[in-house]
Amino acid sequence: MDEHTGDLGAVTRPDPDPEELILGRDAELARLFRAVDSEAADPVLILAGEMGTGKSALLDRAVRRAEASGARVLRAEGSESESSLAFSALHQLLRSLRAEMDGIPERQRAALVHAFGSGPAPLGPDLMLVGVAVLNLLSDLGDRGPVLVVLDDAQWCDRASLDVLSFAARRLAGEPVTILIGARSGDHVPGFDRHVPTLTLEPLDNTSAGRLLDLQPTSPTSHTRTRILEQAGGNPLALVELTRAASAHDTAAPPQSAGPLPLTDHLERIFAARQSELPTDTAEALLLLAAMDSTDSAIAAAVGLPAPRDAAWLPAEQAGLVRHTGRDVRFRHPLVRSAVYHAASSGAQRKAHLALAEMLRGAPDRRAWHLAAACPGPDADVSAELERTAARARRRGGHAAAGKALQRAAELAPRREDSARLLIEAASAAVFTGDIAWVEELAAAARARTDDPSLLASAAVLAGRLAVLTVRHATVFSRLTEAAEQLALSYPAAALDLLADAAVVRFYAGEDTQRHRIADLLRRLPEDASSAGVRTWVMAVSDPFDERAGLVALLPQLATEAETRPEQLTAVGIMAWILDETPQAVRVFDEAFHRWELQGALPEGLGGAVAWAYVERGRWEQAREACTRTTAVGRAVGLDHAVACAATVDAAVLAFQGDASSARARAEEALDLIDPLESRSVAVYARRALGAAAAAEGAYETAYDQFRMVFTADGTPMHYHACYPALADLAAAAVRCGRGDEAAQIVERSANTLADNASPRLRALISRARGLLANPEDAEPHFRAALADPVLEYWPFERAQTLLDLAEWLRRRRRITEARGPLTEALETFRRLGARPWIERARVESRAAGLDVTDTAPDALAELSPQQQQIIRLAARGLTNREIGEKLFLSPRTVSSHLYRSFPKLGITARSQLRDLIEGTLATARQQG
């Protein structure tokens, strides 16, 4: 029976075993243990909860279980002070793996070491390459046994680390690697908050809360117990600390605040009250520890922090403020650290930070932030230190860290002009994080500090650059054009840059009123030689047909001028693609990528043009590789629109290759990520892919319905550029489901709209559509016209489709001998491309035409998935698993697994047989074609 002490309303007990304090969490522990034991389907699990709900305690228990089973544990904890240091959390996580880093490819190792601030810079900061390096490290560790990665207080981890870890995490399926992430409920953890399973810690129920109170050294009873239960609301930390406070204050109830306070504020006051009763040397040590935010044994003694076993810590430990963890001392909870720090005077805080800064001369980035924390007001020298910190962060790819450093530097800059300039630079770094709200905040702050038209223009351009990559096209277009109009007279160059972004939005949105708005503003801007490239971009992207011939004539000169500037070469390639000069677009893209491997953290506006150009040119593997990279980058920085663009291209290729189910999944993913009325181009591409997938399965009614959706009820294209290539596919589906009359009206409406401005490619597609829809006796001239221009060989898939259509028409007219030539050429093209549905259709037609086509599968790769085919082809070129993984953003284990599963389907047993198999497949295709 309990012994009550009536004055305190409590029962005194010995200190409970920490393991016993995890109460009411049986289900949560079981879920964590399943993840640790690799029994969960997902390699990543977020443990979310309010402050004080016991996330760290549960993660500790998971770690102990993993270690007991022999797993390798990598652990890092986010901290407020290091959240502005690029890759600090990743460095903390991987610092024990220095030896293992020597085992990954040199290019990856160099990128990773440079990200940590050591070693020479690689070709440029590449977040994806760092991600592949981390993926390889974890995969290599997994080869030796299970691996557990634990990231606690993820809400305070630096953005660069989170981007890299989320990139790797999405590619760990099938690896013996588990990632557990602890984060506060409601806090955004970039990269990990979508499609990642989350285990949320709810408040303890009354029974568990009561048991926790019973286990305290001084267990409250009566009215005290009731008040604690009411105030704590099931929060374990609050239950423990309110009980401790009630006992320490020798009162009948927990200490009351002056008014209603959030629970966290209430607890901070309790911790601060305990600190006020500590000896001076203990209080000073606590403040130094709070200013450090994380224990660093290398500088702890140098700044006067007592050794872990020093008697100065004993009062703080007895007060429940700190605990010993092996070789160091840590706060029992982040709220304690916050309470200690904010309870100190500004003078004491400044003294602590200056002491730390003095000892960190060898760590300039951390030193700069301590100097900034010690600044009572503007300080030009510290502002300059932060600016240098930002430059170092940007060189390593830490754009969020650079933006934060520049933002703080702006706050400390004595001159308003310098402050505005720094805010503009901060916005330019923040653009690469994908955080549009932050970019706009920085741009607005800059505008409030300056009247300089050049800086104001830069602010608008920077905000616009990122805005075009979001899904808010209508709003973004209005902002861009309004800013351009305001700057047209005072700063026309910036106004033109804004119109260049507005043209990209116009392409995505497809609104015709936007074309008129852009044209009106463009007429107001002066023309000069230096702006010719940007003006051409605006015209080509926003209205590619009005002055097509003149725009095409400018492309060679623009390509020559951009020869040494890869990013401008890429822009020329995009213009060439939009103008249906695909051969020139691909040549320019190849040259650009030879000079520059698309490094940087964001896809450029209209980056999907690169993949589409490769699709049209028949280089489907390269198109899918481009989609893989865009998807990886877009997901890392949260740009759904970029991901959707890549998904539509990927879906189209998958449909052409006959993987209809995967094509549908990718197209539906794209549609889920955008508003089809805001992003008409993406919606049209997705519908075209869905139509191609249905056609591949012979579901022509469904295919027609999908293609029909890219035109309005009266037959007007939903998008001024993306719809026209669908005309022939619409006609092909229509004639197979009895909708020819309707389709013919749509085709003719588009033909009349384009008139003489149609490109040779579109004229060919319209001719093919007319041939399909015409009366049989009238079809031949249309098919012949679609094949007449030799340049159409640069669109091999479309040409092969037309050849097959012509051959079918010839055979039905009993002109079998004439049909065999087009059939042979079409079949060879389909085989080379791996267009399985079209291969089969051409083979059936070839047999009907009397050609000797065997029934054996002509393509040894036909039974493999598109990704397996990519891997096989790369392996056949001699690339290692690591090199393939780096190119396709996969772990070597995943590559190896695909190869292992593919070999039996290919009838081979060794990698050395792949090259002969691929060459043999092509030779067989040519012979059978």
Based on the domain organization, do 29 and 160 belong to the same domain? yes
Sign, CA torsion 790/796/802/807: positive
Task: Of 61-65, 585-589, 853-857, give the lowest mean pLDDT range.
Answer: 853-857
Based on the domain organization, do 172 and 157 belong to the same domain? yes
Per-residue pLDDT reduced to its tens digit, 744-803 = 999 999 999 999 899 999 999 999 999 999 999 999 999 999 999 888 899 999 999 999
Per-residue pLDDT reduced to its tens digit, 95-105 = 899 889 988 98
* Model confidence band, residue 434 (pLDDT cutoffs 50, 70, 90): confident
Q: In angstroms, what CA-CA distances link 704 with 354, 422, 655, 730, 808?
A: 71, 55, 15, 6, 20
Closest CA to 801 of 776, 760, 767: 767
Quote the pLDDT of residue 598: 42
| Collapsed DSSP state (helix, strand, coil) of residue 63 | helix
* Model confidence band, residue 386 (pLDDT cutoffs 50, 70, 90): very high
Closest CA to 862 of 831, 841, 901: 831
Please give the average per-residue pLDDT across 196-207, as a whole number. 90
Please give the average per-residue pLDDT across 600-610, as a whole number. 63
Please give the average per-residue pLDDT across 853-860, as a whole number. 56
Quote the pLDDT of residue 751: 96
Distance of CA 599 to the CA centre of its chain: 14
Based on the domain organization, do 37 and 14 belong to the same domain? no
* Model confidence band, residue 299 (pLDDT cutoffs 50, 70, 90): low
Quote the pLDDT of residue 852: 79
Residue 464 in this model has a pLDDT that exceeds 90: no
Quote the pLDDT of residue 851: 87
701-729 burial, b if ≥16 CB within 10 A, otherwise e? ebbbbbbbbbbeeebebbbbbbbbbbbbb
Residue 293 in this model has a pLDDT that exceeds 70: no
Q: Does residue 397 form part of some domain?
A: no
299-325 burial, b if ≥16 CB within 10 A, otherwise e? bbeebebbebeeebbebbeebbbbeee
- The domain boundary, picked from 512, 527, 543, lies at 543
Which of 134-143, 506-515, 689-698, 810-819 is modeled with the greatest confidence?
Answer: 689-698
Residue 183 in this model has a pLDDT that exceeds 60: yes
Q: Which two tokens stand for residue 503?
A: 């043209």
Quote the pLDDT of residue 117: 79
Quote the pLDDT of residue 798: 97
Which of 88-92, 270-274, 741-745, 865-869 is modeled with the greatest confidence?
Answer: 741-745
Based on the domain organization, do 193 and 215 belong to the same domain? no
Tell me the HSE value of 224 on the side-chain side, using a 13 A CA sphere: 27
Quote the pLDDT of residue 314: 92
Q: Which residue shows structure tokens 């191609």?
A: 692
Based on the domain organization, do 156 and 215 belong to the same domain? no
Q: Which two tokens stand for residue 615?
A: 């699709």
Distance of CA 452 to the CA centre of its chain: 35
846-876 burial, b if ≥16 CB within 10 A, otherwise e? bebbebebeeeebbbbbebbbbbbbbbbbbb
* Model confidence band, residue 5 (pLDDT cutoffs 50, 70, 90): very low
pTM over 0.85: no
Residue 216 in this model has a pLDDT that exceeds 60: yes
- The domain boundary, picked from 359, 374, 409, lies at 359
Q: Does residue 756 form part of some domain?
A: no
Per-residue pLDDT reduced to its tens digit, 50-75 = 888 889 999 999 999 999 999 999 99
Task: Of 450-454, 878-882, 923-927, give the lowest mean pLDDT range.
Answer: 923-927
Residue 446 in this model has a pLDDT that exceeds 80: yes
Beta-carbon contacts of residue 736 (< 8 Å; ≥ 6 apart): 700, 704
Quote the pLDDT of residue 58: 93
Please give the average per-residue pLDDT across 727-731, as a whole number. 97
Quote the pLDDT of residue 361: 85
Pairing type for strands 198-201 and 177-184 reads unpaired
Closest CA to 729 of 776, 779, 694, 683: 694
Q: Does residue 589 form part of some domain?
A: no
Based on the domain organization, do 225 and 184 belong to the same domain? no
Element counts in the chain: helices (H) and strands (E): 46, 9
- The domain boundary, picked from 664, 697, 730, lies at 697
Based on the domain organization, do 616 and 484 belong to the same domain? no
Cross-strand pairs, 220: 10
Quote the pLDDT of residue 697: 95
Q: Does residue 440 form part of some domain?
A: no
Domain ranges, residue 96: 25-201
* Model confidence band, residue 529 (pLDDT cutoffs 50, 70, 90): confident
Please give the average per-residue pLDDT across 108-131, as a whole number. 77
Per-residue pLDDT reduced to its tens digit, 737-755 = 999 999 999 999 999 999 9
Based on the domain organization, do 59 and 187 belong to the same domain? yes
Arithmetic mean of pLDDT over the chain: 86
Based on the domain organization, do 191 and 51 belong to the same domain? yes
Q: What CATH code is carried by the domain that includes residue 687?
A: 1.25.40
Please give the average per-residue pLDDT across 328-352, as a whole number. 89
